A and B are shown apart, each in its own frame.
Chain A
């Protein structure tokens, strides 16, 4: 189906172009991520031992919050100018279009978080041996955050207090990813075998990839009624 793949390609290119034209939007969650992580040493004191213990959790929680803050950008602009309705009316399945938009969202928020995380890890005194695990766990976990977040963003589209509401809906669902993402990094530092953590993170990603686009598409149809 060339038309179908062409639509996906067009949508992906469009979303990336639109976002990069307003690059501050892309940078804001990233700066937020850096600031939140930097606040912890200020609140807890600069002892390297303490920072090393809390580093995996702090970086992961900050990644959760940064992703959550960026969620309103996912559908809100397209909803406001009517593009979203055109997408819902297009002959291509909305599920796949949603998945494409989520992919674009991850490239613009998840991926930068992953790329900047080694810098913050150094700041938090994380041992170098845990660096690879941190990057890999974020690489597996952040797409799940974007996918689940898409459901929350679609449900709260155009509602008053949407930003706070989306956090209430989405954060409880993020707990498994947080547990095993931060757990993997902490496990490497403690010298535990962390293969199971990665298997579970990958399982969450597979589950979210298959189910979340459907839920998000159904939620969008409700919001567009």
Chain B
């Protein structure tokens, strides 16, 4: 404003703060518009994918080759480098999904609707991965593929919640309505998850006292903690990369009748 004229109009001066705010708002709307987000996500995806690959390779290398074998569980404990991050992700993604759903419900932002919807398959996959690796670990440790351990059971119920969310979303044809309905379901679920978790824990202690002990060491050696954290970060970046890629697809699908998608297609062919 000031560079343009020597005497700025009093209106511009008094409103300068407001104007800046408006510019920021416009900018945010620019990035929240599907078209700009599509290009932005396209630029971000390769970097995030490379970072994901780097973190996963480093995590697996430290976990499988550098970290020492456990004195009680031998080599088979190494599955925790997949199992524990997957279980963390399963819960983290549900919270992300519910949070994005709440934002979409309150402010009607299309991007968050798409983000929430695209969280579910990734979250369900991580939950499934946590269940499968838990069961693979349980066979040599507990002597059974499945035990009604509190954490396994609440993970199973979380998997059912994801299934319900995806089924509801898939059975509504209008994408806006599907997003709103499934956001309400995710919010109901997020209130219920702690209740379910503690219920299952108490139920478990009532039924089978201390027959099952998880990794009993309260503190974990740094050489084991480092790969665990690397893998968790790698999984987090994997989630955001895949979410961005899925969102790009959905943007194209939802906006297929607009001119910018038509132009994009023309420039590609």
Contact = CB atoms under 8 A, between A and B. Distances in A.
A225 B177 contact: yes
B160 A168 contact: yes
Nearest to A211: B191
Contacts of B167: 165, 168-169
Q: Which of B161, B164, B172, B191 has the most CB of A within 10 A?
A: B164
Nearest to B157: A172
Nearest to A182: B203
B168 A165 contact: yes
Given A173-B192, A176-B195, A176-B196, A159 B171 contact: yes
A160 B249 CA distance: 26
Contacts of B57: none
Nearest to B163: A168
A188 B160 CA distance: 31
A196 B106 CA distance: 38
B180 interface: yes
B181 A219 contact: yes
B181 A223 contact: yes
Interface in B130-167: 157, 160-161, 163-164, 167
A183 B203 contact: yes
A183 B205 CA distance: 12
A215 interface: yes
Interface residues of A, number: 31
A175 interface: yes
Nearest to B176: A225
A168 B167 CA distance: 8
Interface string B168-199: 10011000010011001101110110011001
Nearest to B198: A176
A83 B260 CA distance: 43
A165 B199 contact: no
Greatest chain B CB density within 10 A among A151, A156, A204 is at: A156
B206 interface: yes
Q: Chain B: interface residue count, which band?
A: 20 to 34
A215 B192 contact: no
Contacts of A207: 195
User: What is the interface of chain A mostly: helix, strand, loop, or mixed?
Assistant: helix
B199 A180 contact: yes
B181 A222 contact: yes
Contact of A175 (B168, B187, B200): B200
A44 B161 CA distance: 30
A176 B164 CA distance: 17
Given A155-B181, A176-B196, A179-B199, A165 B171 contact: yes
27 contacts: A148-B188, A151-B184, A151-B185, A151-B188, A156-B168, A161-B171, A165-B167, A168-B164, A169-B164, A169-B168, A169-B185, A172-B157, A172-B164, A173-B188, A173-B189, A173-B196, A175-B157, A176-B195, A176-B199, A179-B199, A180-B203, A183-B203, A204-B195, A207-B195, A219-B184, A222-B177, A223-B181
Interface of B: 105, 157, 160-161, 163-164, 167-168, 171-172, 177, 180-181, 184-185, 187-189, 191-192, 195-196, 199-200, 202-203, 206
Interface of A: 148, 151, 155-156, 159-161, 165, 168-169, 171-173, 175-176, 179-180, 183, 187, 192, 200, 204, 207, 211-212, 215, 218-219, 222-223, 225
